[in-house]
Structure 1
Amino acid sequence: MNSILQLFQKTRRHSVSLCEPLEIEDYIPQPVDFASPPKWHLSHTTWFFEEMILKKFFENYEIFNPHFSFLFNSYYHTIGERAIRTERGTITRPTVKEVYEYRKYVEKYIEELLQKEVDLKLEELIILGINHEQQHQELLITDLKHTFSYNPIHPVYKENFNLTAQENEEEGWLKVPEGIYEIGFKGKGFHFDNEEGCHKIFLQEFEISKSLVTNKEFLEFMENGAYENFKFWLDEGWNWVTENNIKSPLYWKKINEKWFSYTLEGLKPIEPNHILTHISFYEAQAFATWKGLRLPTEFEWEVASNHLKWGKRWEWTYSAYLPYPNFKIAKGAVGEYNGKFMINQMVLRGSSTATPKGHERKTYRNFFHPKYRWQITGIRLAK
């Protein structure tokens, strides 16, 4: 069995395994527009393989259901009309049972394709589809947590499954000398197009923390009244704080003068030495300012990454999500994957405890709007 087929099968099994603890009622709700229900993630990742690969490479392929291209397209204008993103949770039909049948149907034909000789273009699309599904696996679990957090009984997704109960392994500062450094992906192996355009940059000497900010450190920021003091915040961040009455990180609750956090194991007391998580860029920047420090740029982070222990949190950087030199948007639907989002987003580096193993690399450029914090995000400081 070839390695791509094995990776495809492993990836598809992992999506299903993430849903094993769920009840049928858990597959559908969508309380916010930026997060999608598990049923949609299972369907959309399957749609990608059918739409991008089987329709083009499998002769006389018969689509599973003609309505699915409309229902489970995400943002691909090239492919056509799609269901409104904010209404994904209203799609009660097809049923969960039919979605799993859809997955098996598409898998059967992809596996048939992979049993034959695979040309380079097909291989690249299959690998892209695998990485696309890995991205959605992380979104599936973080979206699900966000949905569960609305439930006042604090449901348990799975015992002994806490993605946020980690501590730092190192302390101190790493000094990086002034110099010219190469940034971006080079060599062989999968990478997204936004990592291409390997180029040189000049960096002044800087220091970057070997540890991430902990709950204890952020509690000091809160107790110092920083959420009520505009001077630490960017104007847009201060508007976000005041308009949304933000007083603490996402999922934190104060009960009888004690702080708790909702986790996938239910409501748990805040552990001071655990690494802070579920934080927005606005909060990360304000905390850094309060400390008299700053966030690293994505270039500083990448240069320092070989000497840091990373992978527990997506780490906010003070870099806007912009194209590297000579970046070009690919033709067709695949070209809509990254390039069109290069505005009003900030770059996060590293990976998190929800990132599928093997999906991380030091050149990976994740990106979100500064207000979002439902992903497993954290803060690393620089000076």
Structure 2
Amino acid sequence: MKDARAETLRLFDLVREIDLRESPGFGFRPVIWHLAHIGVFEGYWILQKLFGENPLDERYDRIFDPINTPREDSKNLPSRREMENYLTRVREKIFRYLDESDFGGENPLMRDGFIFRMVLEHEYQHQETLAYLLHMLSPEKKIRPQARSPLNILSTLARDMVIVPAGQFEMGAREDSFVYDNEQPRHAVELPAFKIDRLLTTNEEYARFVDEGGYERREFWSDEGWQWRVKENWTCPLYWKRYGKSWRAQTMFDEGELDSQHPVTGVSFHESEAYAHFMNKRLPTEEEWERAASWDFRSETKHRFAWGDTEPNSLLCNFNFNFWGTTPVGSFPAGASAAGCLDMTGNVWEWTSTPFAGYKGFKAFPYPEYSEVWFDGDHRVLRGGSWATRAPLLRTTFRNFFRRQFRIAFAGIRCASDA
């Protein structure tokens, strides 16, 4: 928890406080709002719900409650120093309780440290959300941190589809480790054979869709997707700009020529679906994605990560802000799944065609606002993680979800088709 907090504060150090107090776009809270919200969430669940304490500051509980406080009421916020003082007070009380806690009792919030894992992963998720918001700010407002050296493009990789054989596999997570309610219960799924792209869709491939009129050709788009395209005047992915006959793109810390072999990102579900239709393919279902990512066909067992059960490292995938951006597709051959797909862990999230909903037997725990309230038919499931995802959230059962028109996530495309 201490390491996660240090990582959070380092993200805020990339931008001056005056810029952190800006809303990066219409409908978004100021970036700095997320700093205190992380502490309020911790304090509510651990100090109030678990140990029966009163709120440390009722004003914070009100201002930094994302459910009951409208975004337009998030303007007159405390200073960063005041927020950090609040975070310190919350943590001091939590650590006192942590030293005396019994993780083997009957309270489901305490069992195996569930509540502490939950607030830790909540902070990890907000770190990635912060990265989305920081990306929206112009590059000159940010300080570039140290990152690993860029990787060489593996140009010899086959840009083909792999055939995933028909069969049954176990979908979802077991109950013997921390997971969210929407990852359970584990259940058997029978699938026919299907094909799925070995590699993520690259900027070069997506640019062909754009250059051949993909955004103007109604036949590739669903009715709702076309309505959004027209309403928002989408003509290319978010952060792309055309200069003459070439494309440039804004990355986290600069703007430059489009990296042709990096995965396309800044695309909504609607754009991803239209591209798949352009390619005479489709987006994979969530079930297809998880089978291709997690299932070992020889041993008939499920893996926690695409390559197996070894914890993620910099030789296996692009994660944990290691490169502060995407890497060329296929740069981590050691991280291939048993099906032969690359980059199924990290780099960019992958849109699936599946609406976000509970598995059969779903039970909301510990609160419906994490999952259940979003079972609305409007959200689609994304899988795999991105370059800004922390290691625990890279598990092959983790289900991310966004509205179909959402574009600011580090999300890309892997197409599928019937076998």
TM-score between the two structures when normalised by the length of structure 2 = 0.81
2:42 maps to 1:65: no
Between the aligned partners of 1:73 and 1:230, the Cα distance in structure 2 is 41
The 3 A distance-change label for structure 1 pair 324 and 167 is: farther
What number of residue pairs does the alignment pair up? Answer: 361
Report Cα offsets for 1:7-39 as digits up to 9, x if no partner.
Answer: x11111111111122211122111435533332
Between the aligned partners of 1:86 and 1:168, the Cα distance in structure 2 is 47
For 1:100, the aligned partner's letter is E
C-alpha displacement at 1:166, in angstroms? Answer: 9.0
Report Cα offsets for 1:105-139 as digits up to 9, x if no partner.
Answer: 11111111111133352321111111111111100
Report Cα offsets for 1:276-297 as digits up to 9, x if no partner.
Answer: 1111111110000001111110
Report Cα offsets for 1:290-334 as digits up to 9, x if no partner.
Answer: 011111101000001032332111000011111101002236xx2
2:381 is aligned to: 347
2:400 is aligned to: 366
2:217 maps to 1:238: no
- Decide which of 91, 102, 105 is 1:107's aligned counterpart: 91
Contact 1:11-1:134 within 8 A present in 2 as well: yes
1:79 is aligned to: none
The 3 A distance-change label for structure 1 pair 128 and 282 is: same
Alignment of structure 1 residues 330-341 onto 2, 5 Å: 330=365, 334-341=367-374
Contact 2:24-2:133 within 8 A present in 1 as well: no
2:144 is aligned to: 158
Per mean C-alpha deviation after superposition, the further-off stretch among 153-162 and 177-186 is 153-162
2:352 maps to 1:317: yes
Alignment of structure 1 residues 110-121 onto 2, 5 Å: 110-120=94-104, 121=109
2:333 is aligned to: none
Identity %: 31
Contact 1:47-1:72 within 8 A present in 2 as well: yes
TM-score between the two structures when normalised by the length of structure 1 = 0.88
The 3 A distance-change label for structure 1 pair 165 and 105 is: farther
Q: Which runs of 5+ in 2 are unaligned?
A: 295-336
- Decide which of 9, 29, 33 is 1:36's aligned counterpart: 29
1:279 is aligned to: 267
Greater percentage in helix: 1
Between the aligned partners of 2:88 and 2:413, the Cα distance in structure 1 is 40
2:214 maps to 1:219: no
Between the aligned partners of 1:303 and 1:13, the Cα distance in structure 2 is 36
1:130 is aligned to: 120
Report Cα offsets for 1:179-234 as digits up to 9, x if no partner.
Answer: 22221112522111000021222211111111000011011101111111100000
- Decide which of 265, 268, 275 is 2:253's aligned counterpart: 265
Contact 1:165-1:274 within 8 A present in 2 as well: no
Between the aligned partners of 1:38 and 1:304, the Cα distance in structure 2 is 36
In structure 2, the residue corresponding to 1:67 is in which secondary structure? helix
Per mean C-alpha deviation after superposition, the further-off stretch among 123-132 and 250-259 is 250-259
Between the aligned partners of 2:149 and 2:274, the Cα distance in structure 1 is 25
Q: RMSD of aligned C-alpha atoms?
A: 2.3
Contact 2:222-2:270 within 8 A present in 1 as well: yes
Contact 1:161-1:265 within 8 A present in 2 as well: no
1:85 is aligned to: 71
Q: Which runs of 5+ in 1 are unaligned?
A: 1-7, 76-81
2:38 maps to 1:45: yes
For 1:209, the aligned partner's letter is D
2:170 is aligned to: 182
C-alpha displacement at 1:175, in angstroms? Answer: 1.2
1:248 is aligned to: 236
1:23 is aligned to: 16
Per mean C-alpha deviation after superposition, the further-off stretch among 24-33 and 209-218 is 24-33
Contact 1:251-1:262 within 8 A present in 2 as well: yes
Alignment of structure 1 residues 287-298 onto 2, 5 Å: 287-298=275-286
Per mean C-alpha deviation after superposition, the further-off stretch among 266-275 and 296-305 is 266-275
